[in-house]
Amino acid sequence: MTKQETVLEQIDEVQSELDKQPNNTELLNDLGVGYFLIGEYSKSVKALKKAVQLEPENVSYLYNLGNSYAENEDFNEAILQYLKALEINPGHLPSLNNLADSYEKSGNSEKAFEIFTYVVKIAPNDPFPLFNLGNFLLRSNRHIEAVKCYEKVLEHNVQFTDAYYNIAWILSEAGATSDARSYLNKGLAISPDDNDLNQLMNKLSKKAD
């Protein structure tokens, strides 16, 4: 049975329970998450909207609804749901991060940068906000600033292989092949089977040949 078939089976089970308990918010949330996992974002929104209507103070439901709107590329609605979640729990990092993503995707890069930076300040010992900020800077072609973020990520967690990869990619694009290989080797020492690291290493090796 494939993953999608498993999720569809679970959705059928949840729907059967909902037929008996149509206002059960946990079941509605489970249904929405199930549809989200198989890419049925409009159906996910419908189930999660009802869960939020019944339980408007539930941060998880608001966050999940925001995610479904975002995947459906309705970024204004996604932003609204994340903001509602943050009114209840201002320190909810997943909502803050996805709020920044939605601002960026809606074209408001300035607001996205402001939030990504804010998350780093309120979670200074967590490498993931730094990595997310680095990714934003990378997407904005601010490569030197991005590398500095990734270096800080590695100061917090030396086994963060995606940071090695991103630094190596930036260096390879700048023609610093030897330095790029050095970072790739560090990442491969931690995760020898990492597909991205190996692909970039092979690409650089072919260039050298």
Q: Is 85 contained in some domain? A: no
Q: Is 37 contained in some domain? A: no
pLDDT digits (tens, 9 = 90+) for 52-88: 999 999 999 999 999 999 999 999 999 999 999 999 9
Q: Grade residue 3 by pLDDT with cuts at 50, 70 and 90.
A: confident
Q: Is 12 contained in some domain? A: no
Provide the 8-state DSSP code for 40.
-
Question: Residue 202 and residue 39: Cα distance in Å, rounded?
Answer: 33
**pLDDT recorded at residue 129:** 96
Q: Is 128 contained in some domain? A: no
Q: Grade residue 96 by pLDDT with cuts at 50, 70 and 90.
A: very high
Question: Residue 85 and residue 37: Cα distance in Å, rounded?
Answer: 21
Q: Is 189 contained in some domain? A: yes
DSSP secondary structure string for all residues of 155-207: HH-TT-HHHHHHHHHHHHHTT-HHHHHHHHHHHHHH-TT-HHHHHHHHHHHHH
Q: Is 7 contained in some domain? A: no
**pLDDT recorded at residue 140:** 96
How far CA 201 is from CA of 17, 86, 143, 154, in Å, comes to 51, 42, 20, 20
What token pair was written down for 121? 């300040």
**pLDDT recorded at residue 208:** 63
Provide the 8-state DSSP code for 123.
S
Residue 166 amino acid letter = N
pLDDT over 90 at 111, yes or no: yes
Mean pLDDT over residues 34-39, rounded? Answer: 95
Residue range of the domain that includes 182: 141-209
Lowest mean pLDDT among 7-16, 94-103, 122-131: 7-16
Residue 139 amino acid letter = R
Q: Grade residue 209 by pLDDT with cuts at 50, 70 and 90.
A: low
pLDDT digits (tens, 9 = 90+) for 138-148: 999 999 999 99
Mean pLDDT over residues 95-108, rounded? Answer: 97
Q: What's the domain count of the chain? A: 1
pLDDT over 90 at 206, yes or no: no
Q: Is 202 contained in some domain? A: yes
**CA-CA-CA-CA torsion sign (78, 113, 109, 40):** negative
Q: Is 177 contained in some domain? A: yes
Q: CATH code at 163?
A: 1.25.40.10
Question: Residue 182 and residue 43: Cα distance in Å, rounded?
Answer: 47
* Mean pLDDT, the chain, integer: 95
> Each residue of 122-156: b (16+ CB within 10 Å) or e?
ebeeebbbbbbbbbbbbeeeebeebbbbbebbbee
Mean pLDDT over residues 91-114, rounded? Answer: 97
pLDDT over 60 at 5, yes or no: yes
pLDDT digits (tens, 9 = 90+) for 157-193: 999 999 999 999 999 999 999 999 999 999 999 999 9
